[in-house]
C-alpha cells in the first residue's frame, strides 16, 4: 500500500515524524524538519482523516543522567505546537505524555481534520530499546501507521520499526518524505547511469570507510576531499604537515586504494590544497601540493588545480552522490573548494545528471550557497543516509517493506 493511494477519510493516522529540531529558550531556530513533514500531514487532513504525530527530541534520559540539574521538561516538544499550528493553519492539540490515558482520550476524540502531537517518545527508555510492549501500546493510538522519519530510519526503535508489526500490510506505509528519500537513494544505488561519481569529503576517513567500500562496487569515480584526503596522502608517503590525519588508518587507506584499482574505480585525490598556518578564520594562507605540505602548515581546502580536476569529472557524470565538504567551508577563506564543487554539481544537474546531496555538512553547504533547489535531491537523513549508502538495511524501511 502506498501513502498516496491510501484514502485516510475518517481514519486516524499515527505518523512517526522527526521533529528533533533545534530549540533555544523555547524558540525553534531551524524548522526545516517540521516543514518537510507538512505534505504528509496535509494529505491525511485533506482526505478527511485525523493526525497523531509522534517524535523524539534530544536524548532526555541520557542527558539527565549526566547532568542532574536537567529535567524532562527541558526536552519537551511543546514549543513545536504553536509553530506547527501556524504552518498548518489549524489548531494542534498536545498530549503531555505519549502513552498516558490523556493521550489515548485525546486520540480517540480526534475528529477529521484535527491534529494531535504527543510528548517526546524518549521520555520512555523503552523507545530506544525497541520495547515490544511499548510499541504495541503506541500502535493502539491510530488506525494506520505512517513512518515519515527518515532521520531515524537506521534505528530499530519502538516507534520507528518495532511498532510496524502491530499493523496489517495495508495499514502501514511510508510518508511522502520517507518515500522521496528511498526513491532518491535507490536511483543512485541501483538505477544509476554511468559515469557515476561519488564525492566524499569531511573530516574523518574512519566515518566514511564503509560508504567508500560499498561504492567501490557501484561508482566509476570517487572524489575524496576534505580533511580525510590527507590520511591518503600520508599513507602514500607524502608530507602533510599538521593536516588532519588518522594515523591508525594509514594501512586501511592504502588497502582502499588497492581495492579501487583492482575494481577499476578511479579514486581522485586533490592534487593541491589551500594551506594555513593555524586552524582559524584569520590564519595566513598559501597554496601548494597536497603531498608536500610544509611542517607547521595544514590543508584546509582543496586548491585550484584540484577544483579544475574535480569539476571536469563532475561535469561529465550522469549520476552524482555528494557527502561531506571539501574543506573547512564554515570559514570564509576555506569555503572556495566546497562552493566550486557545489557549482559543478549544479552545472551537471542542469545538463541532465541525477544528483543527490546528503549528510549533515554537505547539506549545510548547499544551503549556505543557496543551491539546494538546483540539485536533484537533498537528503534529510545524516546517519540514516550514510547507512543507506553503506548498503545496510535500515530497520525503519525493512519494518514496512518486509
* One of 180, 226, 270, 358 touching ligand AMP (CB under 6 A): 226
Catalytic residue check, 89: no
Distance CA 331, CA 295 (A): 22
Distance CA 20, CA 224 (A): 31
Nearer to ligand AMP, 28 or 219 (CB): 219
| Residue 206 grid cell | 574512519
Least CB distance to ligand AMP at residue 358 (A): 11
Q: Work out whether 337 is an interface residue with ligand AMP (CB under 6 A).
A: no
Q: Grid cell 498530549 — which residue?
A: 95
Beta strands at 115-118 and 50-54: parallel, antiparallel or unpaired: parallel
Catalytic residue check, 48: no
Q: Each residue of 63-76: b (16+ CB within 10 Å) or e?
A: eeeeeeeeeeeebb
**Interacting span for ligand AMP (CB under 6 A) from 42-50, 80-88, 129-137, 325-333:** 325-333
Least CB distance to ligand AMP at residue 330 (A): 5
Catalytic residue check, 204: yes
| Residue 99 grid cell | 502513552
Catalytic residue check, 33: yes
Least CB distance to ligand AMP at residue 323 (A): 7
| Residue 402 grid cell | 518486509
Contact between residue 22 and residue 83 where contact means Cβ atoms under 8 Å apart: no
Least CB distance to ligand AMP at residue 167 (A): 36
Q: Is the peptide bond before 70 cis (omega within 30 degrees of 0)?
A: no
* One of 299, 381, 395, 396 touching ligand AMP (CB under 6 A): 299
Question: 3-state DSSP call for residue 153?
Answer: coil
Q: Work out whether 31 is an interface residue with ligand AMP (CB under 6 A).
A: no
Q: Work out whether 235 is an interface residue with ligand AMP (CB under 6 A).
A: no
Q: Work out whether 204 is an interface residue with ligand AMP (CB under 6 A).
A: yes
* One of 202, 270, 395, 396 touching ligand AMP (CB under 6 A): 202
Q: Work out whether 300 is an interface residue with ligand AMP (CB under 6 A).
A: yes
User: Residues 318, 383, 391, 392: which is the catalytic one?
Assistant: 383
The region, left, alpha or beta by phi > 0 then psi within -120 to 50, assigned to residue 113 is left
Question: 3-state DSSP call for residue 253?
Answer: helix
Question: 3-state DSSP call for residue 91?
Answer: coil
Least CB distance to ligand AMP at residue 385 (A): 11
Catalytic residues: 33, 204, 360, 383
Enumerate binding residues for ligand AMP (CB under 6 A): 202-204, 207, 226-227, 244, 299-300, 324-325, 327-328, 330, 359, 361
Amino acid at each position: 500500500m502506498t501513502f498516496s493511494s491510501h484514502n485516510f477519510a475518517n481514519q486516524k493516522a499515527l505518523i512517526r515524524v522527526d521533529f528533533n529540531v533545534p530549540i533555544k529558550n523555547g524558540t525553534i531556530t531551524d524548522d526545516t524538519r517540521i516543514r518537510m513533514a507538512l505534505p504528509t500531514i496535509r494529505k491525511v487532513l485533506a482526505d478527511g482523516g485525523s493526525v497523531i504525530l509522534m517524535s523524539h527530541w534530544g536524548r532526555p534520559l541520557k542527558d539527565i543522567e549526566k547532568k542532574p540539574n536537567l529535567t524532562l521538561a527541558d526536552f519537551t516538544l511543546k514549543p513545536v505546537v504553536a509553530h506547527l499550528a501556524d504552518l498548518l493553519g489549524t489548531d494542534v492539540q498536545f498530549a503531555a505524555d505519549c502513552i498516558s490515558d490523556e493521550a489515548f482520550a485525546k486520540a480517540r476524540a480526534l475528529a477529521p481534520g484535527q491534529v494531535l502531537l504527543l510528548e517526546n517518545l524518549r521520555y520512555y527508555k523503552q523507545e530506544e530499546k525497541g520495547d515490544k510492549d511499548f510499541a504495541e501500546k503506541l500502535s493502539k493510538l491510530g488506525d494506520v501507521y505512517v513512518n515519515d522519519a527518515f532521520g531515524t530510519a537506521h534505528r530499530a526503535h519502538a516507534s520507528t520499526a518495532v511498532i510496524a508489526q502491530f499493523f496489517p500490510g495495508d495499514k502501514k506505509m511510508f510518508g511522502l518524505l520517507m518515500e522521496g528519500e528511498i526513491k532518491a537513494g535507490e536511483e543512485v544505488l541501483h538505477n544509476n547511469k554511468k559515469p557515476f561519481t561519488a564525492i566524499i569529503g569531511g573530516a574523518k576517513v574512519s566515518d566514511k570507510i564503509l560508504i567508500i567500500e560499498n561504492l567501490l562496487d557501484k561508482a566509476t569515480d570517487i572524489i575524496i576531499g576534505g580533511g580525510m584526503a590527507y590520511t591518503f596522502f600520508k599513507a602514500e608517503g607524502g608530507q602533510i604537515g599538521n593536516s588532519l590525519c588518522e594515523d591508525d588508518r594509514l594501512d586501511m587507506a592504502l588497502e582502499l586504494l588497492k581495492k579501487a584499482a583492482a575494481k577499476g574505480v578511479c579514486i581522485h585525490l586533490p592534487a593541491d590544497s589551500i594551506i594555513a598556518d593555524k586552524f582559524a578564520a584569520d590564519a595566513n594562507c598559501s597554496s601548494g601540493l597536497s603531498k608536500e605540505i610544509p611542517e607547521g602548515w595544514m590543508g584546509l581546502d582543496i586548491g585550484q588545480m584540484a577544483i579544475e580536476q574535480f569539476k571536469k569529472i563532475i561535469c561529465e557524470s550522469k549520476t552524482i552522490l555528494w557527502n561531506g565538504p571539501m574543506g573547512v567551508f564554515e570559514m570564509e577563506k576555506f569555503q572556495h573548494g566546497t562552493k566550486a564543487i557545489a557549482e559543478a554539481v549544479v552545472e551537471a544537474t542542469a545538463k541532465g545528471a541525477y544528483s543527490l546531496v546528503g549528510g549533515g555538512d554537505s547539506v549545510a553547504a548547499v544551503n549556505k550557497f543557496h543551491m539546494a533547489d538546483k540539485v536533484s535531491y537533498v537528503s534529510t537523513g545524516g546517519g540514516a543516509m550514510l547507512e543507506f549508502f553503506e548498503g545496510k538495511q535500515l530497520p525503519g524501511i525493512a519494518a514496512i517493506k518486509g
